[in-house]
Amino acid sequence: MKVKICGITNIEDALLCEKLGADALGFIFYDKSKRFVSAESASEIIKQLSPFTLKVGVFVNEASEIINSVSKKVGLNIVQLHGDETPQQINEINLPVIKAFRIRNDFNFNILDTYMNCHFLFDTYSSEQYGGTGNTFDWDLIPKHITDKIILSGGISSLNIGKVFAGIKPSAIDVSSSLEEYPGKKSEKKVNEFFNYLKGTK
């Protein structure tokens, strides 16, 4: 199971997560997010990271031209679309795409059939913000035949990661707010505890 740590805004957090075993780091380019990072700052951070760490840029309802421009400028490997993007936009992105869906009880999973050439991330629905809520959704809603193909996000922490490993077994997990001191700043203690738990679980 791969691990992505999202909401990276500074080099200290990036290097810590990389050292402890994060497979991917997420940079949020949505300026209404509490974890927003500028393209300039993200570029400086990425220059100091291993080439083997995946750099994921998170965008919300942004124009494809801007996404492609920022991706090239910053040095991203993957684009994560975390808004209300259409299936057509996937084909306009120059990098591999992760399409996020915010899940609530009435979510229609059939919509996934209309999105081609991308990977799926499931996060918790909120009417107030796109991601980063720190809350989980009802994981039992996820169709059993796709659990091993998705990236699971939304309130994952040391307290429930055991259930993720035992019951859901997604291809990857995406963790952010549960590892923070405050939005945009990771807690060294929480990050260490989380990765130590992961090592004990694998």
Q: Can you say whether the dihedral through the CA atoms of 97, 98, 102, 104 is positive or negative? A: positive
Torsion angle of C-alpha atoms 123, 128, 129, 133, degrees rounded to 10: -60
Phi, psi torsion values for 49, nearest 5 degrees: -100, 160
pLDDT value of residue 166:
86
Return the number of other C-beta atoms located less than 10 Å from residue 151's C-beta: 21
Identity of the amino acid at 138: D
| Residues carrying an active site annotation | 6, 123
Average pLDDT over residues 158-169: 89
Q: Residue 3: which of 181, 164, 166, 188 has the closest Cα?
A: 164
pLDDT value at 153 more than 60: yes
**pLDDT confidence of residue 125:** 86
What pLDDT score does 91 carry? 95
DSSP-based three-state secondary structure for 66 = helix
Query: Region 118-129: what's the mean pLDDT?
Result: 86
Q: Locate 57 and state its tokens.
A: 């840029």
User: pLDDT-based confidence at 127, cuts 50/70/90?
Assistant: low
At residue 126, the pLDDT reads 80
Residue 202 pLDDT > 80, yes or no? no
Residue 63: other Cβ atoms inside 10 A: 11
Q: pLDDT for 11-51, tens place per residue?
A: 999 999 999 999 999 999 999 999 999 999 999 999 999 99
Residue 178 pLDDT > 90, yes or no? yes
Give the global pTM. 0.94
Residue 192: what pLDDT? 96
Q: Which residue has the tokens 């939005």?
A: 183
Where in the sequence is the domain holding 70, given as residue range(s)? Answer: 2-201
Q: How many domains does the chain have?
A: 1
pLDDT in tens, 180-196: 999 999 999 999 999 99
In which band, very low, low, confident or very high, does the pLDDT at 201 lie, cut at 50, 70 and 90? low
Spatial CA neighbour of 50 closest among 81, 80, 77, 90: 77
Distance of alpha carbon 94 from alpha carbon 70, whole angstroms: 11
Is the alpha carbon torsion for 51, 120, 174, 128 positive or negative? Answer: positive
CATH of the domain at 82: 3.20.20.70
